[in-house]
Amino acid sequence: MARLDVTEMFHGISFPGHLHTQDSLQLALKCQFQDTDILIVSYPKSGTTWMQEIVTLVTNRGDPHVSQTVPNWTRAPWLEQYYCTATLKASSTTPRLLTTHLPHHLLGPALQGSKARIIYVSRNPKDVVVSFYHFHKMANFLPETGSFPEFLNRFLDGTLHYGSWFDHIKGWTSQAAALNLLHITYEEMSMDLNGTIKKVSSLLQCPLLEDEVSSCVKHSSFNSMKNNKMINYSLIPDEIMDYSKGSFMRKGQIGDWKNIFSKEQNEYFESVYRSKMQDYSLEFMWERQKFEDQPI
C-alpha cells in the first residue's frame, strides 16, 4: 500500500491515503470496544508514540522484551489505519492496546457506555505545530508543507491532515467525565516521567514495584526510544520516511516553538488560541517552567 500522494476525505477531515482508506475509517467508527481495551488517543505529534512505549512497558512490568521486539504499530495499532483489523486478528494479546487520532465527534458514539480505558495525550499546540511541520518534511505520505507561516495558518484553520487540533482537544476533554479517561500531557511526561508511569499503572490496574517503575522510566526515555528501532520508525523504508530530512525522535523538548515562531506569529497564534479556547479551562506548559508562570 503506497498511495503516497492520495488523500482520503472523511467527514470533512483529510487523512493520508498511505495509511487510511474509506473502509478502514468507516470500520473504526464501528469498532466494538471491549471493556478491557486500552485506547491511546491523541492529535498527531502530541506524544502518541511515547505513550505507546509507556503502556507497553507498564503492562509488561518494566520488561523491555516486547518493546524491543515488536514494532509499535503492531503492538498498538491505529484503529483507523488499514492494517488494524488484520493486526488485531493475528494477535492474541489481552488486553488489546489500540491507538487513534480520530476526534471525539467521530469515535465517541462507538465508545458510548464502554469501560475501555482511555489515555488522552495532549501537548502544547505551539510545539505540536512545530513538530508536525518537521514531520511533514520527512514523511513522504504527507503533503508539502509550504512555508512555516502557511503551515501555521493551516494548523490554526484546522485544514491540515487529521483536522483541527482545537476540535480534537475540546471534543475529548469535554467528554472525559462520561468516559474512563485519563488526560496526560506531554509536558507532564517530560517533567515527571516516574509520576506519569505510576498514573498509567494505576489506571490500568497494573501495580508496579519501584524497580519495575525505574525500568519503565529507563526504557521510555528519549535516548532509549531514539535507539530502539521498534519505536523510532527506522524500520520504515526511506521512500516513505526520508531520514535525510530528519528523524522521528527529533528533539523531544518543551518550548522548541521559540526557535521558529516570529513575534508576530506568536501574537497571532495567541489571539486565535484565546478566541477558540475561551470556554475551556485547560492550561498548557509553553516552556519549561511552572504552569502558573505561563502567558495564556
Which residues bind to ligand A3P, rule: CB under 6 A? 42, 44-50, 127, 131, 134, 190, 220-222, 225, 249-252, 256
* Minimal CB distance residue for ligand A3P: 252
User: CA 146 to CA 121: how far, in whole Å?
Assistant: 27
Nearer to ligand A3P, 11 or 251 (CB): 251
φ/ψ region of 61 (left if φ > 0, alpha if ψ in -120 to 50, else beta) reads left
User: Residue 217 Cβ, how far from ligand A3P at the closest point, in Å?
Assistant: 10
User: Residue 44 Cβ, how far from ligand A3P at the closest point, in Å?
Assistant: 5
User: Residue 91 Cβ, how far from ligand A3P at the closest point, in Å?
Assistant: 21
DSSP 270-296: HHHHHHHSTT-------SSS-GGG---
User: CA 130 to CA 73: how far, in whole Å?
Assistant: 23
φ/ψ region of 25 (left if φ > 0, alpha if ψ in -120 to 50, else beta) reads alpha
Nearer to ligand A3P, 96 or 250 (CB): 250
Cell numbers for 205 = 490496574
Answer yes or no: are the C-beta atoms of 33 and 186 closer than 8 Å: no
User: Residue 213 Cβ, how far from ligand A3P at the closest point, in Å?
Assistant: 16
Nearer to ligand A3P, 50 or 273 (CB): 50
Catalytic residue positions, numbered: 101
Comparing CA positions, the residue from 49, 51, 47 lying closest to residue 59 is 51
Nearer to ligand A3P, 46 or 201 (CB): 46
Nearer to ligand A3P, 114 or 217 (CB): 217
**In degrees rounded to 5, what are phi and psi of residue 9?**
-95, 125
User: Residue 92 Cβ, how far from ligand A3P at the closest point, in Å?
Assistant: 26
Comparing CA positions, the residue from 12, 9, 21, 64 lying closest to residue 214 is 64
User: CA 170 to CA 175: how far, in whole Å?
Assistant: 8
Residue 200, CA distances (Å) to 52, 183, 239, 265 in order: 11, 10, 36, 36
Nearer to ligand A3P, 117 or 219 (CB): 219
User: Residue 6 Cβ, how far from ligand A3P at the closest point, in Å?
Assistant: 21
